[in-house]
Structure 1
Amino acid sequence: MKCILFCQNNYSFGILEPIKNYLLAKNHDYIWYINEKILPDFPFKNENHTSLITNLENYKADAIFVPGNEVPHYLHGLKVQVFHGLAGEKKGHFRIRHYFDLYLTQGPYFTKKFIDFKNKYQDFDVIETGWPKLDVYGTDLHLYDDEKKQLLANFNAKKILLYAPTFSPKLTSAPFLVDELKALVKNPDYLVLLKFHPLMDKNWLDIYKNLADETPNIIFETEKNIIKFLLMADLMISDTSSVIYEFLLLNKPAITFKNISENIVWENSFDYAQLIPLVEKNLSEDTFAKNRKDIFEQYHPYNDGKSAERMVEAVKNYIAKNGVPKKRKISLFRRMKMHSLFGKPSKN
């Protein structure tokens, strides 16, 4: 099977890496598509990759794995949506754009909604597989334990707190927590790691970089894959970011500010000034521990580390049964959008 790993944003690397590893183990052929703007961040430059859509046209893939929202409709191959997060409340998560032939869902909460859309539109299929980015939870849960122990020792701290806000201007807590985080780490037991979305406004990135430079127990992290910091942290601070769900699946406490989810089973506050007492409360009591069961069961009930395997095998079996679609029927608007993003198809 010939596959394209389609990356428009650098968060895609951590999502697609487990799929790449399984493709490699099973001797499938693959090529990475890397948008030119994120090429400097691409961690697998020794592997087959391209930033040219014409190369993908010539490649004639059987399947295209896409964590993002768009993929050129004219490329050959089964177009597979693998998703870039778990936040169903985010605008656009359940928007059907008609680029995809197959949706591989993370858990029952998502599967049910996409099956409803499948029944409505009848031009794609849905298979529940779990999400490959979280395979590490089943295979290497303690991968960074030694690094965490050393980091805490270096700063003479006892707990790692991860601040990972969303980039969305309407939803982000970044403008409101600069002083609160600075006050928080006056307690030397706390070490705060800052991990920002790649699309975060540069002005806020600069402000938080300065905060980290000026404050001993705050570190501005630049590593692209957040999984490392999710595994290391004892508590997360955020807002309406999908990584909240990724963290809760580790059965650890989280605090959000003004989260818009309809299914909040963690500490959510509308008062930024409450950060310090909320951190102290959730570290000492973890009163929401019993409520996290719903997240496990509905959002991602897979802890075997085999979601990437299920994805690849689902695609292989789907193609064996149905073949590779000849083309997608999409509206003129969608067609024009793809042309503006990726160019028109070549005439070869």
Structure 2
Amino acid sequence: MAHRYLLFAELPYAFEIMRPLQDAARARGDDVCWFLNGPSPSFLRAGERQLRLIQEVEQFDPHAVLVPGNEVPPFFPGLKVQVFHGFGIEKKGHFRIRGMFDLFCTFGPLTTKPFRELASQHGWFRVVETGWPKVDPLFREPTVEEKNDDRHILYAPTFSPSLTSAPALAGTIADIVARRDWRWTLKFHPKMADEFAAPLRAIQSDKFHISTDSSLLPLLKEADVMLTDTSSAAAEFMLLHKPVIAFRNRAPGPHLLNLNEPGQLEAALETLLEGDDPTREAREHYAQAMHPYHDGRSSERILDAVEDMLRNGYGELKRKPLSPLRRLKYRRALR
């Protein structure tokens, strides 16, 4: 039986997360549509179908709505499936239950165990460990090693004012760029405030590039070291067996090189870029616990979990909370 899937996107990074799901669903002969609550339709590619109105969603009548964000219109038809927008388990709210989803598709043991405990507590949703669809291409598309002596740093700060490293590190990075031959790529979070981004945008050098591509995965493959803070991109980078420097990480550990002062940055970069990696063993253990699936088939496992729930029903699950305020919020926003 062919199924109908609605991909619900509220931020540009949703496309990179859900396109592997779209590909997997289409390979099964399923029908896929997008609903964009925020991103411009220009993000859609040729052949991708957009539904613009609530009435169009009701007519499409999806079997399931796949969501990488925290919320979904409760009145949309179909099973509501949380596929998550990042590995940021350290961030406030990652394990918050908002009463909107029937199925949580988790990455690995670090997320599965807490969500299963929450499922037992609340009783209205299921949890299936599947892996994360965004990283399927990391394992399906081999990384081409460039024969290049340049050392390449990817700087991927988060946006939250309380967590972002951008204000503290901008001056230090500018100084390092001016003196060292290392190549830099900066990837801003789409929610980064202009006041934090401006000092970094002011850095002028042919060794310093600001990526405007919506896709992060190619940048992960190209870089030798990642510099970040409490961004979930760190875990994505670790899946490629590469080291991470974090500035004032909220949950520091031996799997990353955590710094507390800007003055420590240059020495830390030099250590890792020269191949001295004290975090390697702990990083491998962390990456395995976060996302143990290296076959590039997380999307297929998510669809299998959805189909199983559609086939077997909700069973002993209780009804979800009615969420009247969220219903009203989306009714007003989407009318």
TM-score bracket, normalised by the shorter chain, equals over 0.9
> Residues 8 and 36 of structure 2 are in contact (CA less than 8 Å); yes or no, is this contact kept in structure 1?
yes
Q: Compute the displacement of 1:5 (Å).
A: 0.6
In structure 1, the residue matched to 2:39 is 38
User: 1-side partners of 2:211 and 2:258: how far apart?
Assistant: 24
User: 2-side partners of 1:59 and 1:260: how far apart?
Assistant: 43
In structure 2, the residue matched to 1:265 is 255
In structure 2, the residue matched to 1:63 is 64
Q: Does 1:286 align with 2:288?
A: no
Compared with structure 1, are the counterparts of its residues 345 and 52 closer, same or farther at alpha carbon in structure 2 (3 Å cutoff)?
closer
In structure 2, the residue matched to 1:191 is 183
Q: Which runs of 5+ in 1 are unaligned?
A: none
Compared with structure 1, are the counterparts of its residues 345 and 255 closer, same or farther at alpha carbon in structure 2 (3 Å cutoff)?
closer
Give a deviation string over 1:251-295, Cα, whole Å, max 9, x none.
111101110116452100111111100100122201111111222
- 1:33 match: secondary structure: strand
In structure 2, the residue matched to 1:310 is 301
Counterpart of 1:293 in structure 2: which amino acid? E
1:92-103 to 2 correspondence within 5 Å?
A: 92-103=93-104
Give a deviation string over 1:8-62, Cα, whole Å, max 9, x none.
1111111001000111111100101112x31155142541113333322222110
Q: Compute the displacement of 1:224 (Å).
A: 0.7
Counterpart of 1:279 in structure 2: which amino acid? L
Counterpart of 2:155 in structure 1: which amino acid? Y
Counterpart of 1:142 in structure 2: which amino acid? T
Question: In structure 2, which of residues 9, 19, 22 is the aligned counterpart of residue 20 of structure 1?
Answer: 22
Q: Does 1:141 align with 2:142?
A: yes
> Residues 131 and 292 of structure 2 are in contact (CA less than 8 Å); yes or no, is this contact kept in structure 1?
yes
Compared with structure 1, are the counterparts of its residues 263 and 276 closer, same or farther at alpha carbon in structure 2 (3 Å cutoff)?
closer
> Residues 173 and 238 of structure 1 are in contact (CA less than 8 Å); yes or no, is this contact kept in structure 2?
yes
Q: Does 1:205 align with 2:200?
A: no
**More divergent stretch after superposition (69-78 vs 40-49):** 40-49
TM-score by length of structure 2 reads 0.93
Counterpart of 2:255 in structure 1: which amino acid? V
Q: Compute the displacement of 1:181 (Å).
A: 1.0
In structure 2, the residue matched to 1:215 is 205
1:155-174 to 2 correspondence within 5 Å?
A: 158-174=150-166
In structure 2, the residue matched to 1:336 is 325
- 2:278 match: secondary structure: coil
- 1:294 match: secondary structure: helix
User: 2-side partners of 1:40 and 1:179: how far apart?
Assistant: 37
Number of aligned positions between the proteins: 332
TM-score by length of structure 1 reads 0.90
In structure 1, the residue matched to 2:114 is 113
Compared with structure 1, are the counterparts of its residues 41 and 342 closer, same or farther at alpha carbon in structure 2 (3 Å cutoff)?
farther
Q: 4+ residue runs of structure 1 moved beyond 4 angstroms?
A: none
- 1:192 match: secondary structure: strand
